[in-house]
């Protein structure tokens, strides 16, 4: 596969140290004394409590909906700098989950200019000390928009928060230094935010535990197309600008949102099973990249049927692929609209589509649980290859197990790889091997109950590795502690399980 994100082994960070700093962060609340039953106002925490990314997401709020109104000016032709301009209004519906005199949203590299809460102006800051380093070791960047609503928000109260913001866009990078978030390209932007890069393009509670619905109005220079999640609800041109409107009514983790801008040709159709498809292929893709992409996209309906057999009915209102002509060299399972650089190959397309069930409908509760996404999507890729008469899943498993025991590939705790280890090859391939070994361990009947029940039970929500282990034991009636210890919780090549 040509997913350049898959790395060699890195030293995993010491999780205990990270846990300690996350705990220190969450005790920052300033509770005021009050009578029983009286509101006790305090500040929401600056993070959702994920030890890998202590500032990602926010405490004290639960977002229901993001309405993003973006106006984007892409860079001028080279040799002008690769910088775009974003001017935006985010209208966010949220509920207070505690009595709040203050709460945060995540926003990085862009500046808020106005904030109202329930129509009333609120004071706000983007403090320099609430920062993150992207990449690790670089200059910290402010990551929090701190909002002080007046009147204060009682627990259970819903609020409409309107934020005007904007700034210059470049190519933000993740903790490892790889471009993500609002990635400015010469002809637009490629927007792919895993794991916590959504804060580079909208104010957000940027953690999978806070899923929400989304609507988008993306205004771009006439001739360009902005492609977001869900259904295309319209496009309207006024003067030299076109506004593309999208509606994504399925609950979505923020890292799966996109609003990719480019020179796209849209193709719309409905699969035999009745799922509306919207594909967006960059008009500049030609030659073998175009041939490969066309052949792959023609398989979408068949792939959806195949994975519906494995996991149950396709979980969202629409699907489609964005294939952008850029040199970033990666793919992401942006919800209902998978994103590919340069070309879509069959294996990668199967992988990203399978994420609809494993990753998107059911999302990781903590980033440490990432193998639940990548191990399962890779295993899905194996199943699709076998279905197409290529290598069997057993052969793919044997290929992984042929990696020598002293290879650094095996130096990873799959269920706790550390924040810089999320996309190591082992998360994908050893994760998939874990699934294959589990299938042999529990048998076909239990395995099929597991795949279906997993998606059924945790649809629209998040789940942990412990939830997964418990379900595998439940559907099989087997005790699997030793099995999961070897495969998921111990570094080193599994030899007996
Ligand atoms: N989840 C992606 C995959 O396996 C890889 C990925 C991680 C990624 N972070 C990203 C892709 C950021 C694009 C941008 O297909
Ligand atoms: Zn993946």
What integer pLDDT is reported at residue 476 of this predicted model?
98
Q: Summarize pLDDT for 203-221 with one digit per residue, the tens.
A: 999 999 999 999 999 999 9
pLDDT of 464 higher than 70: yes
Q: What CATH code is carried by the domain that includes residue 273?
A: 1.10.390.10
Please tell me whether residues 120 and 247 are part of one structural domain.
Answer: yes
Please tell me whether residues 332 and 253 are part of one structural domain.
Answer: no
Instruction: Examine residue 495 and state whether it is found in any structural domain, yes or no.
Output: no
* Average pLDDT, rounded, for the chain: 94
Q: Model-level pTM?
A: 0.94
Instruction: Examine residue 475 and state whether it is found in any structural domain, yes or no.
Output: yes
Expressed in angstroms and rounded, the spacing between residue 374 Cα and the centre of ligand 2 is 5
Instruction: Examine residue 144 and state whether it is found in any structural domain, yes or no.
Output: yes
pLDDT of 4 higher than 50: no
Please tell me whether residues 121 and 156 are part of one structural domain.
Answer: yes
What integer pLDDT is reported at residue 36 of this predicted model?
73
What integer pLDDT is reported at residue 24 of this predicted model?
38
Instruction: Examine residue 496 and state whether it is found in any structural domain, yes or no.
Output: no
Q: Which residues line ligand 1 (CB under 6 A)?
A: 3, 5, 180, 192, 194, 330-333, 352, 374, 423
Please tell me whether residues 183 and 104 are part of one structural domain.
Answer: yes
Measure the CA–CA gap between 184 and 344, rounded to whole angstroms.
Answer: 21
Q: Summarize pLDDT for 58-89 with one digit per residue, the tens.
A: 999 999 999 999 999 999 999 999 999 999 99
Closest CA to 339 of 185, 129, 113, 166: 185
Please tell me whether residues 10 and 84 are part of one structural domain.
Answer: yes
Helix/strand/coil percentages in the chain, nearest 5: 30, 30, 40
Please give the backbone phi and psi of residue 165, each rounded to the nearest 5 degrees, phi first: -155, 170
Please tell me whether residues 292 and 388 are part of one structural domain.
Answer: no
Q: Summarize pLDDT for 362-389 with one digit per residue, the tens.
A: 999 999 999 999 999 999 999 999 999 9
Q: What is the mean pLDDT of residues 467-479?
A: 98
Please tell me whether residues 45 and 171 are part of one structural domain.
Answer: yes
Expressed in angstroms and rounded, the spacing between residue 377 Cα and the centre of ligand 2 is 6
Using the atom order of ligand 1, give the atom closest to the CA of residue 3.
Answer: 15
Per the structure, how many domains does the chain have? 3
Query: Which residue stretches of 250-405 are H helix?
Result: 287-297, 300-311, 346-354, 371-387, 393-401
What integer pLDDT is reported at residue 34 of this predicted model?
57
- Rounded to 10 deg, the angle between the 346-354 and 371-387 helix axes is 130
Beta bridge partners of 116: 121, 162
Please tell me whether residues 278 and 314 are part of one structural domain.
Answer: yes
Please tell me whether residues 172 and 42 are part of one structural domain.
Answer: yes
Please tell me whether residues 319 and 374 are part of one structural domain.
Answer: no
Q: Summarize pLDDT for 230-246 with one digit per residue, the tens.
A: 999 999 999 999 999 99
> Which residue has a Cα nearest atom 8 of ligand 1?
332
Q: What CATH code is carried by the domain that includes residue 137?
A: 2.60.40.1730
pLDDT of 156 higher than 70: yes
Expressed in angstroms and rounded, the spacing between residue 430 Cα and the centre of ligand 2 is 13
Instruction: Examine residue 494 and state whether it is found in any structural domain, yes or no.
Output: no
Boundary-marking domain end, from 229, 258, 287: 258
Q: Collapse the DSSP code of 222 into the 3-class scheme (helix H, G, I; strand E, B; otherwise coil) and give the result.
A: coil
Boundary-marking domain end, from 217, 235, 258: 258
> Which residue has a Cα nearest atom 10 of ligand 1?
194
Q: Summarize pLDDT for 309-324 with one digit per residue, the tens.
A: 999 999 999 999 999 9
Q: What percent of the chain is predicted at pLDDT more than 90?
A: 91
Within a 10 A sphere around the Cβ of 79, how many other Cβ atoms?
6
Q: Summarize pLDDT for 10-47 with one digit per residue, the tens.
A: 333 333 334 334 433 444 444 445 567 788 999 999 99
Q: Summarize pLDDT for 433-442 with one digit per residue, the tens.
A: 999 999 999 9
Instruction: Examine residue 319 and state whether it is found in any structural domain, yes or no.
Output: yes
Residue 326 binned pLDDT confidence (cut-offs 50, 70, 90): confident
Please tell me whether residues 281 and 420 are part of one structural domain.
Answer: no
Q: Summarize pLDDT for 114-155 with one digit per residue, the tens.
A: 999 999 999 999 999 999 999 999 999 999 999 999 999 999
Domain range for 280 is 263-356
Instruction: Examine residue 105 and state whether it is found in any structural domain, yes or no.
Output: yes
Expressed in angstroms and rounded, the spacing between residue 5 Cα and the centre of ligand 1 is 7
C-alpha dist (Å) from residue 459 to 193, 252, 377, 455, 462: 21, 11, 16, 5, 8
Please tell me whether residues 217 and 72 are part of one structural domain.
Answer: yes
- 8 Å CB contact between 258 and 334: yes
Boundary-marking domain end, from 356, 388, 411: 356
Using the atom order of ligand 1, give the atom closest to the CA of residue 423.
Answer: 7
Q: What percent of the chain is predicted at pLDDT more than 70?
A: 93
Instruction: Examine residue 91 and state whether it is found in any structural domain, yes or no.
Output: yes
- 8 Å CB contact between 130 and 199: no
């Amino acid at each position: 596969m040509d997913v350049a994100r898959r790395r060699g082994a890195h030293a995993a960070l010491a999780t205990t140290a990270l846990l300690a700093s996350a705990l220190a962060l969450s005790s920052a609340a300033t509770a005021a004394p009050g009578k029983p039953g009286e509101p006790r106002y305090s500040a929401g925490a600056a993070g959702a409590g994920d030890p890998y990314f202590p500032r990602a997401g926010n405490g004290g709020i639960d977002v229901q909906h993001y309405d993003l109104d973006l106006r984007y000016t892409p860079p001028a032709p080279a040799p002008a700098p690769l910088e775009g301009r974003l001017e935006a209004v985010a209208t966010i519906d949220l509920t207070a989950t505690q009595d709040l005199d203050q709460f945060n949203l995540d926003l990085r590299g862009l500046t808020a200019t106005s904030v109202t809460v329930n129509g009333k102006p609120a004071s706000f800051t983007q403090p320099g000390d609430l920062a993150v380093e992207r990449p690790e070791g670089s200059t910290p960047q402010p990551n929090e928009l701190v909002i002080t609503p007046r009147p204060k928000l009682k627990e259970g109260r819903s609020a409409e928060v309107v934020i005007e913001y904007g700034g210059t866009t470049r190519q933000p990078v993740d903790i490892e230094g790889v471009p993500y978030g609002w990635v400015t390209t010469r002809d637009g932007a490629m927007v792919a935010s895993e794991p916590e890069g959504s804060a580079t393009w909208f104010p957000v509670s940027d953690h999978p535990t806070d899923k929400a619905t989304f609507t988008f109005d993306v205004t771009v220079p006439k001739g360009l197309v902005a492609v977001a999640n869900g259904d295309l609800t319209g496009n309207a041109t006024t003067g030299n600008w076109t506004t593309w409107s999208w509606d994504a009514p399925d609950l979505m983790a923020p890292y799966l949102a996109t609003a990719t801008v480019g020179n796209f040709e849209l193709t719309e159709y409905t699969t035999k099973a009745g799922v509306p498809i919207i594909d967006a292929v960059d008009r500049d893709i030609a030659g073998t990249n175009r041939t490969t992409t066309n052949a792959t996209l023609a398989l979408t309906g068949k792939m959806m049927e195949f994975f519906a057999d494995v996991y149950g009915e396709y979980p969202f209102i629409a699907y489609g692929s964005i294939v952008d002509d850029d040199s970033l060299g990666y793919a992401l399972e942006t919800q209902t609209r998978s994103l590919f650089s340069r070309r879509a190959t069959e294996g990668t397309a199967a992988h990203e589509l399978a994420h609809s069930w494993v990753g998107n409908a059911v999302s990781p509760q903590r980033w440490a649980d990432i193998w639940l996404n990548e191990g399962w999507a890779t295993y899905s890729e194996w199943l699709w290859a076998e279905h197409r008469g290529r290598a069997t899943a057993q052969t793919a498993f044997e290929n992984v197990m042929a990696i020598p025991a002293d290879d650094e590939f095996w130096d990873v705790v799959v269920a706790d790889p550390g924040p810089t280890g999320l996309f190591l090859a082992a998360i994908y391939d050893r994760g998939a091997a874990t699934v294959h070994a589990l299938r042999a361990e529990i048998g076909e009947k239990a395995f099929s109950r597991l795949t279906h029940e997993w998606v059924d039970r945790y649809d629209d929500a998040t789940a942990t590795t412990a939830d997964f282990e418990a379900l595998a034991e439940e559907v099989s009636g087997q005790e699997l502690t030793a099995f999961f210890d070897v495969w998921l919780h111990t570094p080193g090549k599994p030899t007996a399980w």
